[in-house]
């Protein structure tokens, strides 16, 4: 396996942290980035190089890429994993908060991509891996801005893939289903912040119950993050990687269901499932 220089954003927890550890164990040179360096301390024992990075701050993005190029003279793989979920009713969420969701999930990803592309083109090789979501293909209530950002990541990635094909650069999407991470604890807090009282409180409570069950067993239980780590490893190491990896609990089932059902039947089924999920 050829040793590669890899930059992972959002490496302080969950999918990003697990991927950083696994890729470092494989012998790759891995830079793990997050807004707070102290959150990356435990990665040092695996050989991951911690870097401070807020993807919404352009100068920090420039500084990180410049640092890696000065130390390694190349970046073989950029894994755009930084992101979060903004949950709450559309009516309840301020537009300023919605713009922040896009700043992190889409424009931060795009900024990092633009910075590494010149170096990859110069080497006539490279891979850019973007964390999307099954939520970039299907929708659920109280997550309009999150879904919109992930649908945007899907369109951005599909277009970019065609643009950079002449330069031997691969664009790969990771599309997780339900995964046991702290993502859902954060989204529950978001729902309680914006919509647990008021006109959408009944729907909000049902969604809180559903999301709280992702980290538990049963139908709505999330998969172990290792399933995503395996997909990322393939995206990094396979000679000819897939353009997208749809994996994790209910990911393929959700996409299949959305494809075969009418919009109204899909809406009814989704709302009924939420209503029947107990805390």
Report how far apart, in Å, the C-alpha atoms of 35 and of each of 12, 83, 172, 266 are.
Answer: 8, 11, 24, 38
The pairing of beta strand 77-80 with beta strand 169-176: unpaired
Measured in degrees and rounded to the nearest 5, phi and psi for residue 278 equal: -90, 150
**Catalytic residue status for 233:** no
Active-site residue among 132, 133, 149, 157?
A: 132
| Among 18, 139, 145, 123, CA closest to 81 | 18
Q: Are 131 and 174 in contact (CB under 8 A)?
A: yes
Residue keyed to tokens 């490279």: 126
Marked catalytic residue, from 4, 12, 87, 137: 12
Active site (annotated) includes residue 150 = yes
Structure tokens at 213: 């069950």
Residue of 31, 79, 87, 146 with catalytic role? 146
Q: Spot the catalytic one: 87, 150, 180, 194.
A: 150
Active site residues: 12, 132, 146, 150
């Amino acid at each position: 396996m050829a040793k590669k220089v890899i930059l992972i954003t959002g490496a302080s927890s969950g999918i990003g942290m697990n991927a950083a550890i696994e890729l470092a164990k494989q012998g790759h040179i891995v830079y793990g980035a997050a807004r707070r360096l102290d959150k990356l301390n435990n990665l040092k024992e695996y050989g991951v190089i911690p870097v401070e990075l807020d993807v919404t701050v352009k100068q920090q993005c420039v500084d990180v890429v410049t640092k890696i190029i000065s130390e390694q003279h190349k970046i073989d793989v950029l894994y755009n994993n930084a992101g979060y979920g903004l949950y709450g009713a559309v009516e309840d969420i301020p537009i300023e908060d919605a713009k922040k969701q896009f700043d992190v999930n889409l424009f931060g990803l795009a900024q990092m991509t633009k910075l590494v592309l010149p170096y990859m083109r110069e080497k006539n090789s490279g891979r850019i891996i973007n964390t999307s979501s099954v939520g970039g293909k299907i929708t659920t209530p109280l997550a309009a801005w999150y879904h919109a950002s992930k649908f945007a990541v899907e369109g951005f990635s599909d277009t970019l893939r065609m643009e950079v094909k002449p330069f031997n650069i691969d664009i790969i999407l990771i599309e997780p289903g339900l995964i046991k991470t702290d993502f859902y604890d954060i989204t529950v807090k978001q729902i309680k912040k914006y919509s647990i009282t008021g006109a959408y409180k009944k729907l909000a409570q049902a969604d809180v119950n559903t999301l709280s069950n992702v980290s538990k067993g049963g139908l709505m239980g999330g998969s172990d993050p290792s399933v995503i780590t395996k997909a990322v490893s393939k995206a990094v190491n396979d000679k000819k990687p897939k353009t997208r990896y749809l994996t994790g609990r209910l990911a393929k089932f959700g996409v299949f269901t959305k494809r075969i059902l009418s919009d109204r039947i899909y809406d009814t089924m989704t709302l009924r499932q939420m209503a029947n999920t107990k805390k």
